[in-house]
Amino acid sequence: MGIINVKGTHDIIGGEAENYSYVENVMSQIASFFAFKQVRPPVLEHSELFVRGVGESSDVVRKEMYTFDDKGGRSLTLRPEFTAGIMRLIVQNKLLPISELPLKLYYCGPVFRYERPQLGRYRQFNQFGVESVGHASPYADVEVISLAYTILQSLGLQNVTIKINTLGDEASRDAYRAALKDFFKDKVENMCEDCKMRYQINPLRILDCKVPSDQEIVKDAPKMSAYISEASQKRFSQVLESLKAMDIPYEVDDTLVRGLDYYSETVFEFHYVSNKGNDYGAIGAGGHYDKLVHEIGGPDAPGVGFSFGVERLVSVLCDDGLLEQADLPLDAYVMPLGIESQKNALMVANELRVLGYRVDMCYDDVKLSNMFKRAEKKQAKLAIIIGEEEIKNEAVVLKNMETKEQITVSLEDLGNKVDEILMEKGE
Ligand code: HAM
């Protein structure tokens, strides 16, 4: 075989690409109903942004970044997530402070992580997400969760599980880290090399370890909930009460710590097992952060956001029959009789395309019966035949593929006639 795609990447073709556009359009439209504005940060950033923003104890930064030196000797990284880059964009473009907070932004595009590819896990994948920055209100968290929930509902996903937890404020996390250090002190020697390092940099990360023998040890570790300050408890209760009032179902999961270092207070994940029983992992996740903007050189501004994995979303929607996989049917298929008629056929096709119809034409010099077969295969509603005679008379033959009715129409009247036939069908 010749050159193939890079491991962990995937080609998105035809009907599947339409599915991605559809899902991304639904998400963008709903984000704009919630008064979020679109931003498009670059894919390449200075590596330091992610080390400072996402955190050096996270697996994403330690093991999964596509980092390289460019020809000018700069260490650059293909973004492994959006949030740090969005904060850089906000700080650098002085989008804060503004008269009314929060600043609400949404984004969509490819991200890169050097992970082991498996079901729902790629090395290049797409994220859609939002960040609401500059207001500490617990209702900003609720707004963001309800936006994500509205998107999932609008796409038709009914049985979404929202797992939610609080990591508390800085004081809560400091107290919890100290308790974890104490607990793991005489156990860490027997744990994996990663956990030994996590113990030094951020013992919270040990809770995420996937090594079975380490997970056994983790089971008996102190629980986060015992170390949450009163203020953080109150804030979390306000979030939960508000979700309840809005009929947004959730499950409090006090083992949920999230894998990125910037979170504090509310964290959450969206889970969904498709009707086929496929579990693609979390289809989206997010949370609140306090220090990220400051870390990147900006003012003290808290924020909250989430990102969906678009591949995972499209996969569950396909599994549950909520997306059409087929290519969209044609409005018209233009069939030139002989090579000499192709130029005129193309002009006719284009005229209908600019009127907003989906039109294709035949480039092969084949029999009319063959072209009709092709029109049927493409589910064309109309066939348009154009030959020497029609060119001379400045007309075409228009055949309604459903009723089989066939008429000759002048080029001048073609647009109106197509409108008439397709409108009648409710197109
Ligand atoms: P994350 O949990 O690392 O959070 O990723 C968000 C989502 O991206 C996941 O829930 C999953 O659906 C998808 N995802 C992650 N890794 C892969 C992969 N290898 N292949 C396919 N999909 C994947 C973040 O990235 C945070 N920036 C979210 C956030 C925004 N927090 C606050 N604001």
Q: What is the pLDDT of residue 161?
A: 95
Coil, helix or strand at residue 247:
coil
Q: Are residues 365 and 285 part of one domain? A: no
Asked if residue 72 belongs to a domain, the reply is: yes
DSSP state, 5? P
**Entry pTM:** 0.89
Q: How far, in Å, are 49, 120, 154 from residue 293 at the CA level?
A: 11, 31, 32
| Cα 382 to middle of ligand 1, angstroms | 45
User: Do both 27 and 143 map to the same domain?
Assistant: yes
Residue 7 counted as domain residue: no
Whether residues 273 and 301 share a domain: the answer is yes
Residue of the nearest CA to atom 30 in ligand 1?
A: 306
CA of 237 to the centre of ligand 1 (A): 26
Side chain identity at residue 242, one-letter code: S
In angstroms, the CA 173 to CA 35 distance is: 33
Q: In terms of domains, do 135 and 62 share one?
A: yes
Please indicate, yes or no, if residue 183 is contained in any of the structural domains.
Answer: no
Q: What is the pLDDT of residue 284?
A: 98
Q: Do 149 and 286 fall within a single domain?
A: yes
In the chain, the largest separation of any two C-alpha atoms, in whole Å, equals: 93
Residue nearest to atom 15 of ligand 1 (CA): 309
Q: Which residues line ligand 1 (CB under 6 A)?
A: 81-83, 113, 115, 120-122, 125, 127, 129, 131, 260, 282-287, 305-307, 309, 311-312
Residue 33 and residue 158 in one domain: yes
Same domain, 338 and 292: no
Burial 282-309 (b: 16+ CB within 10 A, else e): bbbbbbbbbbbbebbebeebbbbbbbbb
Residue 324 lies in a domain: no
Domain, as residue range, for 125: 14-169+229-319
Q: Which residues pair with 110 in a beta bridge?
A: 126
Q: 379: domain CATH number?
A: 3.40.50.800
Task: Examine the domain organization and report whether 158 and 92 are in the same domain.
Answer: yes
Q: Do 308 and 336 belong to one domain?
A: no
Do 279 and 405 sit in the same domain of this protein?
no
| Domain presence at residue 31 | yes
Work out how many domains the chain is built from and give that number. 2
The reply to whether 5 falls in a domain is no
Ligand 1 centre and the CA of 413: distance in Å?
A: 53
Residue 205 lies in a domain: no
Examine the fold and report which residue of 293, 319, 345 is the final residue of a domain before the chain moves on.
319
Asked if residue 157 and residue 75 are part of one domain, the reply reads yes
Check which CATH number belongs to the domain holding 140 and give it.
Answer: 3.30.930.10
217 part of a folded domain: no
Please indicate, yes or no, whether residues 245 and 296 belong to a single structural domain of this protein. Answer: yes
Q: Per-residue confidence of the chain (427 residues) as pLDDT tens digits?
A: 799 999 999 999 988 999 999 999 999 999 999 999 999 999 999 999 999 999 888 889 999 999 999 999 999 999 999 999 999 999 999 999 888 899 999 999 999 999 999 999 999 999 999 999 999 999 999 999 999 999 999 999 988 999 999 999 999 999 999 999 999 999 999 999 999 999 998 898 898 888 999 999 999 999 999 999 999 999 999 999 999 999 999 999 988 988 898 999 999 999 998 888 888 889 999 999 999 999 999 999 999 999 999 999 999 999 999 987 556 789 999 999 999 999 999 999 999 999 999 999 999 999 999 999 999 999 999 999 999 999 999 999 999 999 999 999 999 999 999 999 998 755 5
